[in-house]
Amino acid sequence: MGLSLVPTPLGNLGDITVRALETLRAAELIVAEDTRVARKLLNALQIGSKEIWSYREQNAAAVTEGILERARTANVVLVSDAGMPGVSDPGSELVSAARDAGIAIDVLPGPSAVLGVAVLSGFSLRRFAFEGFLPRARGARQRALREALHEDATTIWFESPARIVDTLEDLDAVAPDARVFLVREYTKRFEQQLSGTAAQVAGRLEQPVRGEIAFAVAPYARPEREAGSDPDAAIDALLAEGRSVREIAKRLAGEGGGERRDLYARVSRRKHRRAETGLPSDEEGGPE
């Protein structure tokens, strides 16, 4: 009796463990994120018919007590659609409720896209953080990336194929020289691994983008501009080096100097003033 969390293969059935098979066979009730996916998996693993209940974010509050009641007298197994239950999938709240109820809990080791992309990246893992999915809105997404980058640790993210290009563009806007490692369809037949800057990785993604995506960003310690420092002096110095308005705005945004569009307008004004005083200035297009 009790609750067991069993990680399931991300894509390759060969990743199932002997212990996971034994636990699934012994289960009296299987609780699944998607019952159809769970039945397909059990059939593929040649495990007999099992009682399966649905447990997902939308119905968790309604079914949790019933699951706990069964776990007091039966072997209950929780699985997600793929990978470790509770990691960006339903499960952590059920574990917490089971612990509060005094129910024995067992978590089997197994497949995890989080650790997979972390180790594949080759980035330092002395400190690393799983950040989950990024916000959908561009401004919130850039803020989340900027805040994470200042933690000086490798960060691991999940992203949908529909938003990954926009996300990489946002990362390029706030940290154009950050090192990125991306895995698409990890452990599956058409797995793709890419590394480089955000712009380089985006340029090599197969289009249209399909499948599950996880990516890692290497530790990126770039200090904020010192309080009280003169941003106009920094802008003038970069203009004197022949840098474009777009390049300067992008660089200062990456250093925590503000939002890229606001900086673009400020740099443009400084450039115009330099032109009025007879200092050299180059022509260029607007912000991307």
Answer yes or no: are the C-beta atoms of 255 and 221 closer than 8 Å: no
- pLDDT, mean of residues 22-51: 96
At residue 79, what are phi and psi to the nearest 5 degrees?
Answer: -130, 155
DSSP H or E segment with residue 240: helix 231-240
Count of other CB atoms within 10 angstroms of residue 92:
13
- pLDDT, mean of residues 208-225: 84
pTM listed for this prediction: 0.74
What does the alpha-carbon distance between residue 93 and residue 98 come to, in Å, rounded to a whole number?
A: 9
5 pairs with which residues across the strands?
A: 78, 107
- 14 burial (CB, 10 Å; 0-12 / 13-18 / 19+) is exposed
What does the alpha-carbon distance between residue 45 and residue 112 come to, in Å, rounded to a whole number?
A: 19
- pLDDT, mean of residues 215-232: 70
Fill in the amino acid letter for 151: E
- Is it the case that residue 285 has pLDDT exceeding 50? no
- pLDDT, mean of residues 162-185: 95
Pairing mode of beta strands 2-5, 105-107: parallel
Nearest to 167 by CA among 134, 208, 190: 134
Answer yes or no: are the C-beta atoms of 165 and 190 closer than 8 Å: no
What does the alpha-carbon distance between residue 76 and residue 248 come to, in Å, rounded to a whole number?
A: 58
Mean pLDDT value across the chain: 89
